[in-house]
Amino acid sequence: MKIRLVNEGVFTPVDDIQKTLTPPENGFYWLDADMEDLVELQPLFSIHDLAVEDCMSEEEQRPKIEIYENHYFIVLNSIRFDDEEIFLRALNIFLGKHYIITVTKQKINELRMVKPILWEQQVSSADRMLYHLIDILVDNYFSVADRIEAKIDNLEEELIVSAKKAHLNEIISLRSEILWLKKGLAPQKEVLLVLYRKDLRLIEDDLQKYFRDIYENAVKVSETFETFRDLMGNLRESYQLSIANRANDIMRVFTAITTIFMPLTLITGIYGMNFDYIPFMDWAYGSLYIIGFMLILGALMFYLFRKKDWI
């Protein structure tokens, strides 16, 4: 666990956790903890048993905000996209008047990204750190949305050139992940709406107005993923249409080839009959004449089909 005193964006390490129980003269304490640290933190900060249970749970947590007497418990989802799969990682936050505790199971980039912003903005209160942390978290959804949009565009271009079965699997996988993300964004918007509209004594009134911008961004992200869902449906239709067109092209070529060989098969069938007299049968060059005629006939039919753009 890392403990820091944050005053005007300047970080000062703290060795004794007991110091964090008393409000500092200036600034606030940031405790960046792991799940194992909750055993020590719970009695010190009077963390509710249900909040600890939610943090420890192996199941995926729904974004929410719980208001307790001395602190707020907030669960939000951090997003990560590695071009193959989208991950949501729970960010558990305990907000007090003079402290903020962040608890995670895995490393979350937003905790690293918020540090230079705290220094740049000269942050000295826990609620303002909460604002900047959530702002970065929502902005990362926009970054992931841009990468998903680029991936959809690439899929669309590839489908135009040549549709493959692998494209269908990719479309189905990406569409299910987009639906999963959209479902997870709904409760996250509810949390931001509470931070924006509800009278919260641990958050300054002036600061709550800024949460409105974050909420509006979250709404935009949700609408963007709704658009992506429709686009994935269009991509699937494009894939099926491309496959159908390719099948039609193949059948058209096979039909043309079969049509070309039909008169040739008729000629060979006639000259394969068991009659005493068939034209050119007694002629020394009769076979060459018939073969040449068949070649000319086949070439002529091929030329006509090509001219009409049938093959």
pLDDT of residue 127: 92
Cβ-Cβ contacts under 8 Å for 305 (sequence gap 6 or more): 256, 259, 260, 311
CATH topology of domain 249-308: Methane Monooxygenase Hydroxylase; Chain G, domain 1 (1.20.58)
Q: Where are the domains of the chain?
A: 2-244, 249-308
Asked whether the beta carbons of 207 and 196 are under 8 A apart, the reply is: no
Cβ-Cβ contacts under 8 Å for 21 (sequence gap 6 or more): 44, 45
d(CA 114, CA 133): 6
pLDDT along the chain (311 residues), means of 10: 91 90 92 89 89 82 87 90 79 93 89 92 92 92 86 78 71 79 83 85 84 89 84 75 72 78 78 69 72 81 74 65
**Taking each helix axis from N to C terminus, what angle separates 126-161 and 109-120, rounded to the nearest 10 degrees?**
130
Query: Same CATH fold, 249-308 and 2-244?
Result: yes
Burial category of 220 from C-beta neighbours within 10 Å (exposed 0-12, middle 13-18, buried 19 and up): middle
pLDDT of residue 189: 87
Instruction: Return the SS3 of 81.
Output: strand
Single pTM value for the model: 0.75
User: What 8-state DSSP symbol labels residue 284?
Assistant: T
User: What 8-state DSSP symbol labels residue 234?
Assistant: H
pLDDT of residue 94: 94
The sign of the dihedral angle between the CA atoms of 47, 50, 53, 55 is negative
Phi-psi group of 13: left, alpha or beta (phi > 0 → left; psi -120 to 50 → alpha; rest → beta): beta
Q: Which two tokens stand for residue 192?
A: 């931001």
d(CA 1, CA 218): 31
pLDDT of residue 6: 92
User: What 8-state DSSP symbol labels residue 57?
Assistant: -
Cβ-Cβ contacts under 8 Å for 186 (sequence gap 6 or more): 222
Q: Which two tokens stand for residue 43?
A: 């009695």
CATH topology of domain 2-244: Methane Monooxygenase Hydroxylase; Chain G, domain 1 (1.20.58)
Q: What is the dihedral of CA 104, 108, 113, 118, to 10 degrees?
A: -10
pLDDT of residue 281: 67
